[in-house]
Structure 1
């Protein structure tokens, strides 16, 4: 993909350093995490590491970009004038950490208005970091990410699934979508850490990602990473999908894939959505 537009190099370097510093803390303290509270009826939890990692990330962003707005998973909106908004998920996968499952990530994004321009995903367990700037491709430690192959894999695609915490267990659409995916895909991954799904998709180790009323704070970060790796983003009806963080969650349902896999999944989800 040819480079175009500003490269946000300073912002990228600050975000990568912040994500990796927070990831080091999470990795060191993983086995000693304590659940502080249950956030809502969905059972989503907050652990002490959420707050510790968030403190590190917010400190770095505020020090380097004091005039920018920040929307963070735990602290909420730290408002400021202007069109730049940082999105911070200091521990994506808190529920996994709370039960000792080592599947979690740190996500930091930057949006101009509603549009993501920078996305960083760090995986503390592996120590790997993936980053993308709009118009400049997606990259990891080995260089540019190739993205998934465009052909439809046999006997079917491996697909990640996410749904927002506001979606109730018996939600008719969510149940129908998951059922269609289970029936027509080789494997459906419910990671409870959406940024892991996006990083897997961006580097081509899974074939697609389907979301229903996804959470907004990490969606633009992960979606930009995948899009810059050549993944197409569509709504459940097949229209172009814009990954935003504002407003209600009704506009945050998507199918992300490439080529024949995208067409295949749109047919399957379109029949039930």
Structure 2
């Protein structure tokens, strides 16, 4: 019997192969905004993933970054980012991935993120823990913010928006060991889940950016909230994640800034 986990893993790896094979032949690049590109590879990967899902589960709904939402059974929703880190990919910078989440009855129960550059496959099932290439992963045990390595990102409207995360970035730079800006929220979440980073915050993300990564992080023992520490909801456009041990300290830093994302009611 084919399971959502099997389909997610196989689809992610198939899309990753496309990314590797086309890395030196990206093809046409168009723009959804001034600095928000989409490549031929984004579209090829998305088609590959959706075709596999629809073949296995023809009645399931799909929400994908490039093609939007397809009609299907509302209790079965696949949330897909076929190429998270498109700018990196377009520039030949090897920090990008495939992200696939499966939600059943409004709860994410499967999360898969595949980094083809390093052949890292992150997998989580609700209540069953998280793995990287089949080995269990867990968040960092570091409890001191000053010694922590953090990661964040910036939205495509950074040139014009007031809520642009630059205030938080400046505040964290002086509060922790260092801050990275890698360019793939899905990988930022996975790397926090496996202890490479102690914490991650960002605003104005879409659900396909974090649906899989949030489950992977939670199953690895991490904590996920809004900037003010209140419970995170699927659909929120601000997210704070950590190993749990530095979470309150990160909230205190975020309170000094004003940039916020829109929240679900």
TM-score normalised according to structure 2 size = 0.91
Change (3 A) 1:183 1:170: farther
Q: Measure, in 2, the Cα distance between the counterparts of 1:182 and 1:157.
A: 11
**C-alpha distance in 1, partners of 2:164/2:46?**
33
- C-alpha displacement of 1:191: 1.6
For the pair 1:264 / 2:257, whether they are aligned, the reply is no
Alpha-carbon spacing, 1:54–1:184, altered in 2? closer, same or farther (3 Å): same
Please tell me the root mean square deviation across aligned C-alpha atoms, in Å: 1.9
Q: How many residues are matched?
A: 258
Q: What is residue 4 of structure 1 aligned with on the other side?
A: none
Shift in alpha-carbon separation, 1:31–1:216, aligned structure 2, 3 A = same
Q: Deviations over 1:8-46 (max 9, x none)?
A: 9811111001100110111121111134211113x1101
Alignment map for 1:111-260 (pairs within 5 Å):
111-152=103-144, 155-166=146-157, 168-172=159-163, 174-242=165-233, 244-245=234-235, 251-260=236-245
Q: Give the structure 1 partner of residue 22 of structure 2.
A: 29
Matches within 5 A, 1:1-40: 10-40=3-33
Once the two structures are TM-superposed, the CA of residue 142 in structure 1 deviates from its matched residue by: 4.3
Deviation at 1:213, TM superposition (A): 2.0
Mapped partners of 2:104, 2:88: distance in 1 = 31
- Distance in 1 (alpha carbons) for counterparts of 2:154 and 2:39: 21
Aligned partner of 2:74 among 82, 92, 97 = 82
> Structure 1: any 5+ residue segments left out of the alignment?
1-7, 246-250
Give the SS at the match of 2:22: helix
| 1:99 match | 91
Give the superposition deviation at 1:181.
1.6
CA–CA distance in structure 2, aligned partners of residues 33 and 192 of structure 1: 18
> Counterparts of 1:19 and 1:58 in 2: how far apart (Å)?
11
Q: What are the ranges of 5 or more consecutive residues in structure 2 without an aligned counterpart? A: 259-265
TM-score normalised by structure 1 residue count: 0.88
Q: 1:18 to 1:203 in 2, by over 3 A?
A: same
Residues 160, 208 of structure 1: 8 Å contact kept:
yes
Cα distance change on mapping 1:99 and 1:136 into 2, 3 Å = same
The farther-off stretch of 131-140 and 106-115 is 106-115
User: After TM superposition, which residue ranges in structure 1, 4 or more long, deviate above 6 angstroms?
Assistant: none
